[in-house]
Amino acid sequence: MIRLLLIILLALLIGTGLSLGLQYDLGYIRISLGHYLIETNFWVGLGVIIALVVLTVLTINVIRRLRTSTGLVAGWIARGNERRARRRTTQGLLALAEGNWPRARKLLTSSASHADTPLINYLAAAQASFESGDHEAVDELLRKAFDSTPGSDMAVGITQAQLQLAGNRLEQALATLVRLRKQSPHHPFVLKLLKNTYLRLEDWRELSRLLPELRKRSVLSEAELNDLERQVWHNLLERAAEDCRRQQKQEPDASLEPLTRLWDELPGFLRRDEYTIRDYARLLASLGDEVQTETLLRKVLRNHWSDELINLYGRVKGQKPDEQLLLAEQWLKDRPNNPELLLALGRLSLRNELWGKAREYFETSLRLKRSREALAELSRLNAHMGEEEASVKLLMQGLAKDNGLPELPMPRA
C-alpha cells in the first residue's frame, strides 16, 4: 500500500514537472542516421526516450517471467516423472517378489531413468532377467547399473557373481570374485562367495589358502570353519594318496613323500583330530606303509583312546608284531571290557599265529558286542581250524544280523 502511494506521488511530481517544463522552449533534438535526419521538439524527444526505456524494462520483465514459468513447468513435469517412477519401481519389486519375472523386468527398467535409485532398479531387473533365463539381458542390465551410479562396482560385481553361481557358471563367477577381491581383499561377503565357488569347483588347494582369511575375518562360525577345514584337508590327503598310487604303478618303490609332506602341512588341531588321523592312517596303510601307520597309531593311542583307531591298529602289521601284541595287552588292563580292543587283540594274535588266544579274544568280544567283524573273524578262524560246522553257524548269524532278519522258526537239521 505504501509502495503504491509512493509511485502515485512520484508520477504526480513528474507530471507537474513536465507541465511546467512545456511552458519553456528548450530547443529541439536532431538525430542524423545515414541519409535520414530526425528533428523533434525537446520534450517530445524526451518522452520518446522515456517510453523506450519503459518498454525495454517491461520486455525484460516479461522474458524473466516466461523463463521462471518454464522452469516451474519443467519442475512440475520432473516431479511427476519421479512420482511415477517410484510407483512403478514399487510395483516392479512386488512383481519380483511374486515371481512375475517379465512384468518385474519391464516395470523396473522403464522406471530406472527417473528413479531416485536407478542402481536398485537395474540390479533387481537383472535378477528378474536371470530368473527368466535371459543371460544376455542380465549382462546388459548389470552394465547399466554400473554406469548409473558411480562407485557401484562392488555391489554390481557381487550381484553378478551371485547370479553366475546360481546359473552354475563357476569359472565366470571365480573370475568375477577374484577381481573383486583384488579391489577389496578383506570383504567378508566376497570371501564367503569365493569359498562357495572353490567348494563347488573342488579346488581344495586354493580353498586351503583361503581358510586363514576366512578365520581371521570371522566369515563363518568356529564349528563351520573346523568342519570345512577337515573337509579340505581330507580331500587334499586323498588326492596326495592318489598321486602316490600313480607313482607306485610306474615305480613300485616310489616314496610316499607327497602324502607325508602334506601331513606335515596340516594345522596343529587337525593333526590331533581323531578323524583326520584315522583318514591319514588308512591312506598310509592302503599304500603299503603299515610300519609307519602302526607307529603313528601307537603314539596317538597312548595319549588319546579311540575305538576306531584301535580297530585300525589291529588291522596293520607293525615292524615287530609280537611287541605290537604285548602293547595292546597292556591297554587291556585299563579297558578289559572293550569289544573293539578285544577284536584287535584277536587279530594281533592271529598275526603272531596264536590261534587259541585269538579264538578267546574273538569270543570274548562277541559276548560283549555281537559285531559283524568279530563274527566274521571267528567264523574264518574256525573254518581254518577244521570246525566247519561252527564256522557256518557263525557265518549264518552274521548274515542274519547284517540283513536284519527277524527271529522265525526254522526246521531242525
State the Cα–Cα distance between residues 17 and 401, nearest whole angstrom. 132
Question: What pLDDT, in 10s, does the model give residues 69-97?
Answer: 555 554 555 566 677 877 887 888 888 88
Domain ranges in the chain with CATH number 1.25.40.10: 304-400
Q: Which of 237, 221, 163, 227 is nearest to 199 (CA)?
A: 227
Q: How far apart are the first and last CA of the chain?
A: 132
pTM for the structure as a whole:
0.69
Mention every residue, 6+ apart, whose C-beta is less than 8 A from residue 6. none
Dihedral angle over CA of 130, 124, 144, 77, nearest 10: 140
Quick one: pLDDT at residue 151? 86
Residue pLDDT, tens place only, 153-205: 999 999 999 999 999 999 999 999 999 999 999 999 999 999 999 999 999 99
In contact, 248 and 254? CB cutoff 8 Å: yes
CA distance linking residue 209 with residue 189, whole number of Å: 17
Distances (CA, A) of 6 to 11, 12, 116: 9, 10, 50
The chain-wide mean pLDDT, for the chain, equals 83
Give the other-Cβ count within 10 Å of 355's Cβ: 13
Q: Is the pLDDT of residue 24 over 60?
A: no
Give the architecture (CATH level 2) of 304-400.
Alpha Horseshoe (1.25)
- Whole-Å CA distances, 171 to 106, 132, 186, 235, 346: 30, 22, 21, 21, 53
- Average pLDDT on 348-356 reads 92
What is the Cα–Cα distance from 397 to 360, expressed in whole angstroms?
Answer: 18
Per-residue pLDDT band at 405 (split at 50, 70, 90): very low
- Arithmetic mean of pLDDT, 302-312: 92
Nearest to 90 by CA among 55, 120, 60: 120
- Helix, strand or coil for residue 61? helix
Would you state the pLDDT for residue 374? 85
